[in-house]
Structure 1
Amino acid sequence: MQLNHYLNFQGNTEVAFNFYRSVFGGEFLNVMRYGDMPAEEGISLSDAEQQKIMHISLPINEFTVLMASDVNEQFCAQTNQPFTVGSNHYISINLDSSEQAEAKRLFDALSKGGSIEMPLEKTFWGALYGAFTDQFGIKWMVNCQLENE
């Protein structure tokens, strides 16, 4: 298991992460834009929104990866969580495919008494993923990468 920091920005993730890369060095592991998502009914994104960052990751050292995404009004309305500078941070738990049961256990235990933002479920990026705010107001993500199915 690896714990990482996951940040949310309001449209300037790419600028912020280019800055962080200039400070820490290294190369981005992943850069996914909202335009890379499979089309879903009812979701319409402008050309500008499609260019925003859905996920980016920058290794800081062998133990830590800094990750982030842009959030927009549609996301905030869907999750019923307004964007607030200062509370735009998650602790991200990352597990490999052999730890699916542990991912579920951690999600269920840590989210008890809290508020689930996204239930733990399979995603289009090949992971078991869920997000929540725990009973103490701390935001968490659980991401268990699945083997190619």
Structure 2
Amino acid sequence: MQLNHYLNFQGETEAAFNFYRSVFGGEFSFIKRYSELPDAQISEKEKDYILHVSLPINPFTVLMGSDTTEQFCAPQSAPFSKGTNHYISINLDADEQAEARRLFDALSENGQVEMALENTFWGALYGAFTDQFGIRWMVNCQLETE
């Protein structure tokens, strides 16, 4: 299991992550835009926004992020606020699905689920929530590799 920080921005993810890459070095291990979503109805302004980007910092840490939009990633329970726009992301391997479910259920107890833990189009078991203490979490169990 890895625990990583996941940052949200409003249209600044690409600039921010290009900056972080210039500081930490390395290459993006994953980058997708909202325009790549299957059947997405994205505004012209948001089509080039970042859906997800991963920048490995070292063998144990990956900095990840995305842009929030009106349609996606704008939880009513925790609207975007610059400076507090992050999640703790738990990343697990395909053989850890039971652990992903256990962690999701335990950590989200008495909290507010943003997205139920379910299979996604990107080949993962994924869910997001705010825990009872106001901390935002993501659980991502990668089931398929590209």
Name the TM-score class by shorter chain. over 0.9
Match of 1:107 in 2: 104
TM-score between the two structures when normalised by the length of structure 2:
0.94
1:74, CA displacement in angstroms? Answer: 2.6
Deviation, structure 1 residue 86: 2.2
Q: Does 1:87 align with 2:84?
A: yes
Q: Is the 8 A contact 1:76 1:82 kept in 2?
A: no
Report sequence identity in percent: 72
Match of 2:52 among 55, 64, 70: 55
Instruction: Give the letter aligned to residue 38 of structure 1.
Output: P
1:13 matched to 2:10: no
Deviation sequence 1:78-128 (CA, Å, 0-9, x none): x31311112211000000000000000000000000000000000000000
Structure having the larger proportion of residues in helix:
1
Match of residue 122 from structure 2 = 125
Q: Which runs of 5+ in 2 are unaligned?
A: none
Letter in 2 for 1:137: G
Instruction: Please tell me the root mean square deviation across aligned C-alpha atoms, in Å.
Output: 1.3
CA distance in 2, matches of 1:133, 1:46: 28
Cα deviation, residue 147, structure 1: 3.5
Distance 1:3 1:119, change over 3 A: same
Q: Please give the alpha-carbon distance, in whole angstroms, between the structure 2 residues aligned to 1:70 and 1:120.
A: 21
Q: TM-score, normalised by structure 1?
A: 0.92
Residue 113 (structure 2) aligns with: 116
**Structure 1 residue ranges without an equivalent (≥5):** none
SS in 1 for 2:63: strand
Which residue pairs with 2:38 in the alignment? Answer: 38
